[in-house]
């Protein structure tokens, strides 16, 4: 009987499926999460407004590295390096915020609400910010980028 109790505490939680399409917290971008090199990565593959005020495709204008500012937002890798965590979520990753031009360490998990909870942080997970992404209500057409 005690053996069964030990098994439950040692068993690893089933890794959550976060692959596929997610809408960011503002509904401005669709991120496609997929495997890459044994980890999970994500790219912006849809934009609500893909063009800037001049009618040109939006670029990474807030990047701290001026040489990277001409990169198109469509197709831009904004998260990567995620590996399964013992709690069923994903950890060890990074997330890039194109609105600030900053990259943060990151963890993510699917909550009981079915939403993807992504936390970007500096140093420790306590010092950071969380966002919640949802599955898109309809299939998104990938932008050309």
Instruction: Parse the chain into domains and list their residue ranges.
Output: 31-133
Contact 80, 92 (CB under 8 A): no
Q: How far apart, in Å, are the Cα atoms of 111 and each of 21, 56, 106, 114, 133?
A: 16, 37, 16, 5, 11
Phi, psi at 37, each rounded to 5°: 60, 40
Contact 13, 91 (CB under 8 A): no
pLDDT tens figures, 70-128: 999 999 999 999 999 998 899 999 999 999 999 999 999 999 999 999 999 998 888 89
Tokens linked to 42? 């994500």
**Closest among 138, 121, 124, 39 to 84, alpha carbons compared:** 39
- Report the predicted TM-score, pTM, of the whole model to 2 decimal places: 0.85
Question: Hey, what CATH class is 31-133 in?
Answer: mainly beta
């Amino acid at each position: 009987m005690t053996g069964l109790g030990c098994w439950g505490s040692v068993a690893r939680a089933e890794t959550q499926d976060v692959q596929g399409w997610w809408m960011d917290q503002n509904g401005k971008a669709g991120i496609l999460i997929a495997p890459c090199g044994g980890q999970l990565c994500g790219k912006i593959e849809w934009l609500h407004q893909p063009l800037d005020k001049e009618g040109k495709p939006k670029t990474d204008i807030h990047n701290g590295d001026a040489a990277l500012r001409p990169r198109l937002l469509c197709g831009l890798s904004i998260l990567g390096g995620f590996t399964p965590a013992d709690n069923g979520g994903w950890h060890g990753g990074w997330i890039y915020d194109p609105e600030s031009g900053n990259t943060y360490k990151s963890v993510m998990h699917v909550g009981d609400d079915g939403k993807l909870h992504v936390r970007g942080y500096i140093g420790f997970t306590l010092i950071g910010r969380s966002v919640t992404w949802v599955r898109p209500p309809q299939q998104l057409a990938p932008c050309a980028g």
